[in-house]
Structure 1
Amino acid sequence: MNRLTIITTASALALGLSTALAGDNHYEPGSGGHLFVMGDELEWGPVSSMGEGAEIAVIEGDLGKEEPFTFRLRLEDGYEIKPHVHPAYERGTILQGTLHFAHGEEFDRDQTKALPEGSTFIMAPGAPMYGYAEGEVIFQLHGEGPWGIEYLNEEHDPRQ
């Protein structure tokens, strides 16, 4: 296994990437069925790859597999996303709050772009990025797995 595969697999496992829906809602990608989820039905849990102040709710998919996924991240006010990369495209939409986001290897608040509610972003695989939350931020990500996160500086990785 190459380094990226190991990191991706470890990241997927660390995120707890089973479908996280309340009640009997269960969706199998490719099943031809429909999925309807109310916001208050989402089950939020910790994100070990992001540490305290971040929560995840997986809507569909197993982020460790080659299949479509959709999940939401909730960040507390002031939460900093340290410089990192992903193995696949990151496609996101800001649902609440303002996410300040930037491309680069060094965290610099002055270089971020404010993405208010309703904004969307697409970041290429392997492109270093970082950001921070203004107010409580909820954003939704979707794409094709496997998914993972690799921090540019090991000391920023809460899994260490």
Structure 2
Amino acid sequence: MAHQPDQSEFRVILPEEIAWEPFPAFPTGARLAVVVGHPTQAGPYVIRVKVSGGTKLMPHKHPEDRIYTVLSGVFYIGLGYTFNGDKVNAYPPGSVIVLPGDTWHFHWAKSGEYVTQVTAIGPLGLEYHDLQDDPRHLHVNVAIDRVGHRTPPKPRVKGCQRA
């Protein structure tokens, strides 16, 4: 259980207590762990993000200001609403990156897995520039045909309901 900002007792969260979970807005190669607070609610929170090598988080923005601390690996981040692997900057462990809210950016685990710690004031928000890049959108609006190809859903006819 993550420590809550209003708790008055001393608390230590050890690395082995970190619970990595899939996050619906992340691609499959990324995991999130809540360390302090409730990111979905107003108030301070601390999360960790682990991204496996080669994974890209396509252009997106957050409404909240964020402070990233690189814990391990090399964190590659670029600014803008178009992914460009030539425009990412590499930050080693110990680096601190301040990202103002509503800044379009993208991440790439270009040289292997990285872990960042994000400190912010919630609620956490994440909006992709292109809905095609948002895993939440894909899970809802894309069907898989019999041979495994992604196909757009069939339009519904007004007045008809699926059985």
Q: Contact (CA 8 Å) 1:27, 1:33: kept in 2 or not?
A: no
Instruction: Please tell me whether Structure 1 or Structure 2 has the larger radius of gyration of its CA atoms.
Output: 2
Tell me what 1:58 maps to.
34
Tell me what 2:129 maps to.
152
Q: Contact (CA 8 Å) 2:4, 2:38: kept in 1 or not?
A: no
Q: In 2, distance between residues paired with 1:49 and 1:60?
A: 20
Q: In 1, distance between residues paired with 2:55 and 2:128?
A: 16
Structure 1 position 42, deviation (Å): 0.7
**Residues 1:69 and 2:48 are matched in the alignment:** no
Aligned pairs for 1:81-160 (under 5 A) are: 81-133=57-109, 134-160=111-137
Q: Contact (CA 8 Å) 1:64, 1:147: kept in 2 or not?
A: yes
Greater RCO structure (CA 8 Å; 6+ sep): 1
Structure 1 position 33, deviation (Å): 2.0
Q: In 2, distance between residues paired with 1:126 and 1:116?
A: 24
Encode CA deviations 1:15-69: one digit per residue, 9 max, x unaligned.
xxxxxx3xxxx53322222220110111111011012000111011111111110
Q: In 2, distance between residues paired with 1:36 and 1:120?
A: 22
- Unmatched 5+ residue regions in structure 1? 1-20
Q: In 1, distance between residues paired with 2:17 and 2:42?
A: 26
Q: What letter corresponds to residue 99 of structure 2 in structure 1?
A: M
Q: TM-score w.r.t. structure 2 length? A: 0.80
Q: In 1, distance between residues paired with 2:63 and 2:10?
A: 28
CA-atom RMSD in angstroms: 1.1
Q: In 2, distance between residues paired with 1:42 and 1:87?
A: 25
Number of residue-to-residue matches in the alignment: 136
Percent of aligned positions that are identical: 28
Structure 1 position 147, deviation (Å): 0.8
- Unmatched 5+ residue regions in structure 2? 138-163
Q: Contact (CA 8 Å) 2:27, 2:57: kept in 1 or not?
A: no
Q: TM-score w.r.t. structure 1 length? A: 0.81
Q: What letter corresponds to residue 56 of structure 1 in structure 2?
A: L
